[in-house]
Amino acid sequence: MADGSTLPARPLLVIEPRRGWVSFDLAALWSHRELLFFLTSRDLKVRYKQTALGAAWAILQPVLPMIIFSLFFGRFARIPSDGIPYPLFAFAGLLPWTYVANAIGNSATSVVGNASLVTKVYFPRLIIPASAVLAALVDFGVACAALAVLLIWYQTPVTGGFLIIPVLAVVMTILALGIGTLCAAVTVRYRDVRHALPVLIQFWMFATPIVFPASLVPEQWRWALALNPLTGIIENFRAALFGRPFAWPALAASGTMACALLVIGVYTFRQLERSFADTI
């Protein structure tokens, strides 16, 4: 065993937090991309390990609420659906909503759940919530299989509007990453956030045009609905699927809010991550 006298007088490498404004540090994230893919794969494996249905749960999460909403809101309450079969209308809203809600919920507890990794190994901590968002995106892709079945069942024609869906997926991912990183950073310091977040997400769902069309909201209150970044995403997601006119101003508003939330989330995360190892 080497004694202390063989150690260098000064450390060879010093890792210090940056001062002032902190950037995304894309170079560091890219150099650790293999870790990002590993954590994403691990999240997916742990989520469906020893489950009877496996990845089918990614499909059931939006399908089961669709059945309930179709029964109570579509058949009993007779809520209009802009001429679209209500099950298809509800599922088109639930699919992007489920992705964003799951991505935010999983990201919020991701850093706390990886406490042993955070306190022992240095790497860009932003990779942890990003892997949770990426894992939820995989679930979104799997759930799209159920959407394809519904489109075929209701004989919905394929239009050029389908080409905008990847753009909407990018906006959804930016939104989920922004809110997810913000919640992940705050949860490390205030653990009660993970208890309050499911309630807030549930409230957010009913403030989003999922079970009802945006046209049902009175004109004088449309501005309040437009403040919800998911409104423009879901309305344009339906427009892409059903050949309706796109609401470009609503999509621009959603994209702007998503990018702003991403900047706020990453900035807050990078500021608070300096004390993660001590707080967690």
Render 68-134 in DSSP notation, one character per residue: HHIIIIIIIS----TTS-HHHHHHHHHHHHHHHHHHHHHHHTHHHHTHHHHHH--S-TTHHHHHHHH
Percentage of the chain modeled with pLDDT above 70 = 91
Residue 65 has pLDDT above 70, yes or no: yes
| Contact assessment for residue 179 and residue 104, using Cβ atoms and an 8 Å cutoff | yes
pTM over 0.85: yes
Domain count, the chain: 1
According to the model, what pLDDT value does residue 229 have?
A: 96
Cα angle for residues 262, 248, 93 (degrees, 5° grid)? 70
Nearest to 104 by CA among 24, 4, 201, 220: 201
Burial grade of 104 (CB within 10 A; 0-12, 13-18, 19 or more): buried
With cut-offs at 50, 70 and 90, classify the pLDDT of residue 26: confident
Share of the chain above pLDDT 90, in %: 65
Q: Return the axis-axis angle of helices 229-242 and 248-272, rounded to nearest 10°.
A: 130
Flag whether 78 is in a domain: yes
- What's the pLDDT at 187? 94
The verdict on residue 149 lying in a domain is yes
Is 20 part of a structural domain of the chain?
no
- Answer whether residue 27 is part of any domain: no
Report the 10 Å Cβ neighbour count for 163: 9
- Tell me: pLDDT of 173 over 70: yes
Q: Nearest 5°: CA angle at 119, between 117 and 120?
A: 70
By the 8 A CB rule, do 67 and 74 touch? no
Spatial separation of the C-alpha atoms in residues 106 and 136, rounded to whole Å:
8
Domain holding 164, by residue range, is 33-42+51-279
Mean pLDDT of 138-153: 94
Please determine, for residue 246, whether its predicted confidence score (pLDDT) is greater than 70. Answer: yes
Check if the beta carbon of residue 228 is closer than 8 Å to that of residue 200: no
Residue 142 lies inside a defined structural domain of this protein: yes
Q: Which of 117, 109, 89, 276 is nearest to 189 (CA)?
A: 276
Candidates 65, 75, 7, 44; CA nearest to 137 is: 44
Tally the C-alpha atoms within 13 A of residue 165's C-alpha that lie toward its C-beta: 19
Angle among Cα 18, 24, 27 to the nearest 5 degrees reads 90
The answer to whether 187 and 109 are in contact (CB under 8 A) is yes
The tokens describing 159, both together, are 């239009």
Distance CA 252, CA 165 (A): 15
Mean pLDDT of 147-164: 93
Lowest mean pLDDT of 31-35, 231-235, 259-263, name the range: 31-35
